[in-house]
Amino acid sequence: MATFKAIVIEKSDGGQKVGLTDFDEANLMEGNVTVRVEWSTVNYKDGLAITGKAPVVRRFPMIPGIDLAGSVESSSDPRWKPGDRVILNGWGLGETHLGGYAEKARVKADWLVPLPARSSARGAMAIGTAGYTAMLAVMALERHGLMPRQGPVIVTGAAGGVGSVAIAILARLGFEVIASTGRPAEADYLRALGASEIIERKELAGAAKPLGRERWAGGIDSVGSATLANVLSMTRYGGAVAACGLAGGMDLPATVAPFILRAVSLIGIDSVMCPMEKRREAWQRLGSDLDAGKIAPMISEIDLAGVPDACRRILEGGVRGRIVVKIA
């Protein structure tokens, strides 16, 4: 059987080992579509998986990578035929199912989304799970009824992948965006994306008051912990916050005061098992509501060999915007 290049995580009593290797196609997992992967990307979850800093990976050996884009090589499902251009985000890819940091992937047909006609595989991975999650968060705020005239929206972790794309989308939709970041040197970058105000992360880092001064009508939070607690305490009456990350921790040291005294809503955003209808809507919206010109300056490119180092850097807060991984 043929082999192909892949990043593989192995685990033993001595710990976790990650390396670029030749992977036997016979060892791919079950699935009815084989995809020739062209591009992937680096997300915070990929960083956790490759460094082993959180139990993201559920089976070993594992090919990490929660995103991929490429073309169908073979399919036993009538919905997909060789040459079809596809995207895959989540569904356990890189966690329970061999993932996108490889030249080939065998997956379930139900997991695939058509690559939008106006998009390239590289462009889709420049958005990736981070951008797709940002779009899901924006859609959730819209379903809540949030509109630009109601006031500003805060985006935490603003210089990261989710934050960067969220700012660009919200600004294009007419929202006033407040960007919270631990990297004040990125202020010009964030303003270029559409942020009208920059605040330092430390403003949201301390213990949250049950109710703080009302500062924003809503928010998109990728940090969690004290940051999310502070965002909630400062959300205006009837506002909503979409939570989609845990870079600052899984805990939530908050009180019920914002929910029962200000009718604030906390909306959870899951990108992994998100129903297909919402996925397709999110990718369609990304084609219309995300300015490609805003995305271009935030993209850096690496090859498969550069993935482990990029994963370490993203956990250290050293990555701005999005990293695309050239596979083929």
Per-residue pLDDT tens digits for 98-144: 999 999 999 999 999 999 888 899 999 999 999 999 999 999 999 99
Query: How confident is the model at residue 321, as a pLDDT?
Result: 85
Q: What is the mean pLDDT of residues 267-274?
A: 96
> pLDDT > 90: what percent of the chain?
91
Residue count of the chain, please give it. 328
> pLDDT > 70: what percent of the chain?
100
Query: How confident is the model at residue 301, as a pLDDT?
Result: 97
Alpha carbon distance 302, 14 (integer Å): 29
Burial grade of 296 (CB within 10 A; 0-12, 13-18, 19 or more): exposed
Alpha carbon distance 284, 263 (integer Å): 31
In whole numbers, what is the pLDDT of the chain averaged over residues?
Answer: 95
Q: What is the mean pLDDT of residues 48-64?
A: 95
Rg over CA atoms, the chain: 20
Report the b/e string of 72-81 with b at 16+ CB within 10 A.
bbebeeeebe
Measuring CA to CA, how many Å separate 201 from each of 106, 159, 180, 230? 41, 11, 5, 11
Segment 138-166, tens digit of pLDDT? 999 999 999 999 999 999 999 999 999 99
Alpha carbon distance 19, 308 (integer Å): 8
Cis amide prior to 210 (ω within 30 degrees):
no
Tokens of 305: 């060999």
Looking at residue 30, the DSSP 8-state letter turns out to be: P
Query: How confident is the model at residue 85, as a pLDDT?
Result: 97
Segment 190-231, tens digit of pLDDT? 999 999 999 999 999 999 999 999 999 999 999 999 999 999
Side-chain half-sphere of 71: how many Cα atoms within 13 Å? 6
What letter represents residue 99's amino acid?
G
In this predicted structure, the answer to whether residue 292 has a pLDDT above a threshold of 90 is no
In this predicted structure, the answer to whether residue 54 has a pLDDT above a threshold of 60 is yes
Alpha carbon distance 138, 154 (integer Å): 12
Measuring CA to CA, how many Å separate 185 from each of 110, 153, 170, 176, 191? 43, 21, 22, 21, 11
Query: How confident is the model at residue 328, as a pLDDT?
Result: 80
* Residue 1's pLDDT band (cuts 50, 70, 90): low
* Residue 279's pLDDT band (cuts 50, 70, 90): very high
Query: How confident is the model at residue 118, as a pLDDT?
Result: 81
Three-state DSSP state, 38? strand
